[in-house]
Structure 1
Amino acid sequence: MIRYISALDDIGAGQLQGFFVGWPRPPAPETFLRLLQGSYRVILAVDGKRVVGFIQAISDGVLSAYIPLLEVLPEYQGRGVGSELVRRMLEELSDLYMVDVMCDPETQPFYARLGMQRAVGLIVRNYDRQSGT
């Protein structure tokens, strides 16, 4: 049974395996844990002791938040885990003026189904820094 948690107290780097599929330079599990620890809000989907999905937000805590990462392990996709993570995070951030997500066009319908609106944005990507080291 999948449970959703917001605390990282009992989470170790060894539980953060299998994410960032297709990334040429994914963060190491230790770097991934630091990324989660530095977030404004985090929600994890956990099956037993295994982390099977996560969402994070960074924020000023006053007006705005950004959701940079949402991932669900491939074998757990299609079960509503990602949708539940987004719903829970939007609830956590509901007191803020704006919550933004930048995503590829093929994932926009997923977020739109959850109440988000399409917008135009600009980005910079330093792919040589993708691993976070």
Structure 2
Amino acid sequence: MIAYSADPHALTPEQLTGFFVGWPNPPRPETLLRLLQSSYRVSLAHDGERVVGFANAISDGVLSAYIPLLEVLPEYQGSGIGSELMRRLLTELSHLYMVDVMCDDEVAPFYERLGLQRAGGLIRRNYARQSGE
């Protein structure tokens, strides 16, 4: 049974393996733990002690937030976990004026189903730093 929580501070790196499938230079579990613990808000999905999904937000806490990551382990995808993680995170951010997500076109319909709308944006990526190290 999947349980949800919002506090990453009791997690260990061992609970954060298997994410970032397809990334050529993914963050190590220790880096992911640091990332989650430094986020403004976090939504976590657990199957027992194992973390099977997460979403995080970075924010000024006043007007705006950015959701950089939503990850669900491949074997748990398609079961509604990603949607529930986002619903919980968006509820936590509902006091803010703007909440932004930048995503690839093929996953935009997922976010639209959750009430987000398409908008233009620009990005810069430094792939040499993709691992966060």
Runs of 4+ in 1 over 2 A off after TM superposition: none
**1:1-133 aligned within 5 A:** 1-133=1-133
The RMSD of aligned alpha carbons is 0.5
Distance 1:23 1:85 in 2: 21
Query: How many residues of Structure 1 are paired with residues of Structure 2 in the alignment?
Result: 133
Structure 2 runs not aligned, ≥5 long: none
Residue 9 of structure 1 and its aligned partner are, at CA, apart by 3.0
* CA contact 2:9–2:37 (8 Å) conserved in 1: no
Q: How many angstroms apart in 1 are the aligned matches of 2:9 and 2:120? A: 37
Unaligned segments of structure 1, at least 5 residues: none
Q: Distance in 2 between matches of 1:42 and 1:113?
A: 20
CA distance in 1, matches of 2:65, 2:9: 23
Q: After superposition, give the CA deviation of every residue in 1:39-92 in whole Å (9 maximum; x if it has no partner).
A: 000111000000000000000000000000000000000000000001011100
Letter in 2 for 1:59: S
1:8 Cα offset (Å): 1.7
Question: 2-side partners of 1:92 and 1:132: how far apart?
Answer: 26
Q: What amino acid sits opposite 1:117 in the alignment? A: Q
**Paired residue type of 1:8:** P
